A and B are shown apart, each in its own frame.
Chain A
Amino acid sequence: MRSFRQFKYVTMFAAATAAFSVSAQAETLRLLTWGGYAPQDVVEQFEKETGIEVKVTLSNNEDMISKLRATRGAGFDLAQPSQDRIVSAQADFDIYKPMDLSKIETAKIIPSMLEATKKNTEFDGEVYGVPHVWGTSGLIVNRKTAATVKDYTDLCDDSLSGSVSYRLKRPTLIGFAFAMGEDPFAAYGDMEKYQAILDKVEEKLIDCKSNVKAYWSGGDALLNLMRSGEVSAAMAWDAGGWKLNAESPDITFVAPESGALGWIDTFVLPRKTKAEDAAYQWINFVMQPDVAARITESAGNFTASKGSDDFVNDTLKAQFKESFPQADLDNINWYPPVPAGLEEMEGKVLDRVKAAN
């Protein structure tokens, strides 16, 4: 009997701790985001103002979808995938929850961006995403050693043998397709036409393989390759180029002739979010112009917050203007939502490129 009573106490104690930890968790916001999107000082200020603890997990597009798919949308309260990857993930895996736009101070967001994101993240009549950070991917070029590089296909020039780097991911396929005079976005709805474009790109990328030093996967690894001079031209994000530019003026971001690829990272609610209110609070908090400017400085990319440009330092603005004259800005190819099934086709192409000699 005695041991039974002890057992009962232990159970009660365990239950009490469990209940306590649940109530404590309600005051935590588990944020699944990109590096630089939740800088420490912003997190601290938010914690001080609201009393909500923020737990940041760094991730990327594929990793976010995989993590949420594994738990069927649990484990995080707010995620930040790119706007073009939301609808297909929702259609296939049902991992997100519709946004209640009435809880968001939409007046703080640049209207054109809000509208574009609303349109691109609509699934079954519900809106899933609001815009946060936007930027482009294009070319990072060392002007001393690779001044000839003006477009993606220039990376395959013989003079750059062994000193080029890009990712083996879908942006590379899209970028090369544009540089080869195709319009992959227009072919999104037509599988056959898209496959034809992919075949062309595959051939080009296999030809180009001898030029590649390494296919990069993490942003920091690429920056190191550029810094050490081992790589003189790469396909990468604008923010990385500007970061390197601040260290050595020879290296900078160049918008390719066929157009930089524009992305918008959003806020979405995972289906089993446990802190929905905290999530909305965070969104409204980071959309304040001065807070958004601090995120711009840490991430290197501009945000969808209206008026935050005024708070951003002059170096970043100058770099932005140098890389993006008005014509290049108008030339940006914005990613439309990816239809389901397309990524499987792209995956096979990427596998074959990787395996080719």
Chain B
Amino acid sequence: MSAEPGSLKRTQYRLGFWLLLAPIVLWLSLLIILPHIDMVLVSLRERVASRQYEFSFSNYTEFFTEPLYWNTFVRTAVMSIVATALTLIIAFPVSFYIAKVLSGKPKMALFILCLIPFWVSELVRTYGWMILLRETGLVSGALQWLGLVDQPVEMLYNDVAIMVGLIYTSMLFMVVPLVTTLDSLDKSLIEAGYDLGGSSWHVMKSIVIPHAMPGIMSGCIVVFMLTLGNYLTPTLLGGKDSLWFTEQIYTQFITRFNWEQGAAFGILLLVLSSLIVWLGLKITKQSFTRVMS
């Protein structure tokens, strides 16, 4: 008799486990895994005539043989890496100041100030930059008013504008993980470093940065992925030379009706970006599980 309640409890426990797991499993399989399998299948077809498709790798060979697509991808990856590095360089002092120098209300206030721009959508923020940077925009007007230039200057539609937009868009995703990890660093460790005669640079290099490494890496991964997959900012701020890989995918799907090529590009973007992240983790000797915890 004593065994029965126990086994009932166990089945209940097991049922609860599966019920709790169900939403995430459904979410992953229905919205992530199944569509990707379908994408792979679509990417392996080639249109031979109207309504006729054949199995082929041509969409993938197209990517590697047509320098245009390959160059666009390299350009997107390089610019994303640069944007990630710049975001880190700007966000690190900010996060350090918030986490270690300030406390109490000012700390909260500054943290919220970092958050506030994200209350409006990315589109609105990007249009904000366009209003500032365009030829008849605020910055150009201010420069003319100050007498620094004698005719309107165009600051939009170039790589610098894309970079500014990307960094601005991803700042928060770097600040939050950095503040979290830096918060967990005991201040007495920093003091001990100074007491033992370390310089500021030394303390930063051997105490703060090693401690913050998981936060740095997780921030970098998130920012890199967001930048690489960004569509709006490069298209709107980059103008005629924007050339972003996601734009290429969009064009293939929507304006060229070439789903097969678009799907192949999508899969390639997924594989190549995962490779870059893996390489980044290898180089900094971090493990994915530690970074993500």
| A interface residue numbers (CB < 8 A to B) | 62-63, 65-66, 69, 89, 91-94, 162, 169, 209, 212-215, 228-230, 340, 343-344, 347, 351-352, 354-355, 357
A215 touches B240 (CB 8 A): yes
A340 touches B243 (CB 8 A): no
Give the residues in chain A near B59, CB-CB below 8 Å. none
Instruction: Give Cα distance in the complex from A101 to B99, angstroms.
Output: 72
B68 touches A91 (CB 8 A): no
Give the residues in chain A near B168, CB-CB below 8 Å. none
Give the residues in chain B near A340, CB-CB below 8 Å. 50
Q: Which of A63, A91, A230 contacts B50 (CB 8 A)?
A: A91
Q: Which of B248, B251, B257 contacts A69 (CB 8 A)?
A: B257
B257 touches A228 (CB 8 A): no
Per-residue CB contact flags for chain B residues 152-179 toward chain A (1 = under 8 Å, else 0) read 0010010000000000000000000000
A92 touches B50 (CB 8 A): yes
Give the residues in chain A near B258, CB-CB below 8 Å. 344, 347
Instruction: Give Cα distance in the complex from A351 to B251, angstroms.
Output: 9
Given contacts A91-B50, A92-B51, A340-B50, contact A66 B254 (CB under 8 A): yes
CB under 8 Å from chain A, chain B span 52-92: 68, 71-72
Given contacts A91-B50, A214-B240, A340-B50, contact A229 B136 (CB under 8 A): yes
Name 12 interchain pairs, CB-CB below 8 A, sorted by A.
A62-B257, A66-B254, A89-B257, A91-B50, A91-B51, A213-B157, A228-B135, A229-B136, A230-B136, A230-B154, A343-B257, A354-B240
CB under 8 Å from chain A, chain B span 234-270: 239-241, 243, 248, 251, 253-258
B36 contacts chain A at the CB level, 8 A cutoff: no
Instruction: Give Cα distance in the complex from A229 to B72, angstroms.
Output: 32
Size of interface on B: residues with Cβ below 8 Å to A: 23
The residue of chain B having its C-beta at the shortest distance from the C-beta of A231 within the complex is B135
Instruction: Give Cα distance in the complex from A209 to B47, angstroms.
Output: 32
Instruction: Give Cα distance in the complex from A162 to B239, angstroms.
Output: 12
Give the residues in chain B near A214, CB-CB below 8 Å. 157, 239-240
| CB of B48, distance to nearest CB on chain A (Å) | 11
The 4 closest A-B pairs by CB, nearest first: A214-B239, A347-B256, A91-B50, A62-B255
Instruction: Give Cα distance in the complex from A228 to B72, angstroms.
Output: 32
Give the residues in chain A near B135, CB-CB below 8 Å. 228, 230
| CB of A85, distance to nearest CB on chain B (Å) | 10
Most buried by A among B51, B134, B239, B255: B255
Given contacts A62-B254, A69-B257, A340-B50, contact A354 B136 (CB under 8 A): no
| B interface residue numbers (CB < 8 A to A) | 47, 50-51, 68, 71-72, 134-136, 154, 157, 239-241, 243, 248, 251, 253-258
Instruction: Give Cα distance in the complex from A69 to B240, angstroms.
Output: 29
Q: Which of A92, A213, A215 contacts B257 (CB 8 A)?
A: A92
Instruction: Give Cα distance in the complex from A214 to B10, angstroms.
Output: 66
Instruction: Give Cα distance in the complex from A47 to B57, angstroms.
Output: 52
B256 touches A344 (CB 8 A): yes
Most buried by B among A69, A212, A355: A355
- Total A-B Cβ pairs within 8 A: 60
Instruction: Give Cα distance in the complex from A122 to B257, angstroms.
Output: 21
Give the residues in chain B near A344, CB-CB below 8 Å. 256, 258
Give the residues in chain B near A352, CB-CB below 8 Å. 68
| CB of B55, distance to nearest CB on chain A (Å) | 19
Give the residues in chain A near B257, CB-CB below 8 Å. 62, 65-66, 69, 89, 92-93, 343
The residue of chain A having its C-beta at the shortest distance from the C-beta of B47 within the complex is A92
Instruction: Give Cα distance in the complex from A156 to B103, angstroms.
Output: 60
Instruction: Give Cα distance in the complex from A94 to B71, angstroms.
Output: 35
The residue of chain B having its C-beta at the shortest distance from the C-beta of A227 within the complex is B136
Give the residues in chain B near A343, CB-CB below 8 Å. 256-257
Instruction: Give Cα distance in the complex from A112 to B166, angstroms.
Output: 53
Give the residues in chain A near B256, CB-CB below 8 Å. 343-344, 347
Most buried by B among A93, A212, A228, A351: A351
| CB of A172, distance to nearest CB on chain B (Å) | 13
| CB of A63, distance to nearest CB on chain B (Å) | 7
Instruction: Give Cα distance in the complex from A146 to B114, angstroms.
Output: 46
Instruction: Give Cα distance in the complex from A89 to B256, angstroms.
Output: 11
Instruction: Give Cα distance in the complex from A355 to B243, angstroms.
Output: 7
Give the residues in chain B near A66, CB-CB below 8 Å. 253-254, 257
The residue of chain B having its C-beta at the shortest distance from the C-beta of A69 within the complex is B257
Instruction: Give Cα distance in the complex from A254 to B265, angstroms.
Output: 40
Give the residues in chain B near A228, CB-CB below 8 Å. 134-136
Instruction: Give Cα distance in the complex from A31 to B136, angstroms.
Output: 38
Instruction: Give Cα distance in the complex from A28 to B170, angstroms.
Output: 42
Given contacts A66-B254, A92-B51, contact A355 B239 (CB under 8 A): no
Most buried by A among B157, B248, B251, B256: B256
Known: A214-B239, A343-B257, A355-B68; 10 extra A-B contacts, CB below 8 A, are A63-B254, A66-B254, A209-B240, A213-B239, A214-B240, A215-B240, A347-B251, A347-B258, A351-B248, A352-B68
Instruction: Give Cα distance in the complex from A215 to B242, angstroms.
Output: 10
Give the residues in chain A near B239, CB-CB below 8 Å. 213-215
Instruction: Give Cα distance in the complex from A209 to B243, angstroms.
Output: 14
Given contacts A213-B157, A347-B258, contact A355 B51 (CB under 8 A): no
A162 touches B253 (CB 8 A): no
Most buried by B among A89, A214, A229, A347: A214
| CB of A170, distance to nearest CB on chain B (Å) | 9
Give the residues in chain B near A209, CB-CB below 8 Å. 240
Give the residues in chain B near A229, CB-CB below 8 Å. 136
Give the residues in chain A near B47, CB-CB below 8 Å. 92
| CB of B34, distance to nearest CB on chain A (Å) | 16
Give the residues in chain A near B134, CB-CB below 8 Å. 228, 230
A347 touches B136 (CB 8 A): no
